[in-house]
């Protein structure tokens, strides 16, 4: 085996890689956290301090877009060096916003109203970095056709899955898929809470390296 030379290298040193900005998900939703993990990025989670009350007469799409951007901005103000993702989802039933039911009774009412109807799930996304002045947003509208549901079906579903933290009371990634006739979307994970195609696009634009 040849001896290891102790002679200092005369080659030009390589430039060290630039510091990667931290990535923060401005949401405490476990669904969004699990989705973002699929992009293979190191990130932290921060809870945004944002009032989610709709403005009088505010359309579902406008509400989702406003809240996604407000969440990203609020967390970015506390972490100006980071790239921050904010997201929000509002179920749109003929122009009326439906949020998270929170209780069994409200979930029953939501599903009764959505039975046999087409509901648009407006999933908004925002990416903000205060240091660089980067701020962009996007929205994925997912069209969901619900089956005609009877009271017993609704009760069985809610008792089994308890989707009280989901906009529209239906978890399509779980048993909720059995409530549906069809889903139309150009960003498959949007209905779960975070449109990953759009997220990857905005993260690349903000300077993150993705495949």
Catalytic residue among 88, 92, 138, 187: 88
CA–CA dist 48, 184 (Å, integer): 30
Task: Provide the strand spans (E) within 34-132.
Answer: 44-45, 83-93, 96-98, 118-129
Long-range contacts of 180-185 (CB under 8 A, 24+ apart): 180/144, 180/145, 180/146, 180/147, 181/145, 181/146, 181/147, 182/143, 182/144, 182/145, 183/142, 183/143, 183/144, 183/145, 184/142, 184/143, 184/144, 185/140, 185/142, 185/143
Query: Is 88 annotated as catalytic?
Result: yes
Task: Give catalytic residue positions.
Answer: 88
């Amino acid at each position: 085996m040849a001896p290891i030379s102790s002679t200092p290298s005369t080659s030009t040193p390589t430039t060290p890689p630039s510091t990667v900005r931290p990535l923060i998900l401005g949401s405490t939703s476990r669904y969004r956290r699990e989705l973002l993990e699929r992009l293979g990025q190191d990130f932290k989670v921060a809870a945004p301090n944002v009032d989610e009350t709709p403005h009088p007469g505010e359309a579902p799409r406008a509400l989702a877009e406003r809240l996604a951007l407000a969440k990203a901005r609020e967390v970015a103000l506390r972490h100006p060096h980071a790239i921050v993702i904010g997201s929000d989802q509002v179920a749109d039933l003929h122009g009326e916003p439906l949020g998270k039911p929170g209780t069994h009774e409200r979930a029953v009412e939501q599903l009764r109203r959505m039975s046999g109807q087409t509901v648009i799930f407006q999933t908004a996304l925002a990416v903000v970095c205060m240091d660089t002045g980067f701020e962009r947003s996007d929205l994925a509208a997912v069209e969901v056709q619900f089956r005609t549901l009877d009271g017993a079906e609704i009760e069985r579903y809610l008792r089994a899955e308890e989707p009280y933290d989901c906009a529209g009371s239906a978890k399509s990634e779980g048993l909720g898929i059995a409530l549906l006739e069809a889903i139309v979307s150009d960003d498959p994970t949007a209905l779960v809470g975070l449109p990953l195609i759009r997220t990857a696009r905005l993260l690349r634009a903000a300077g993150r390296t993705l495949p």
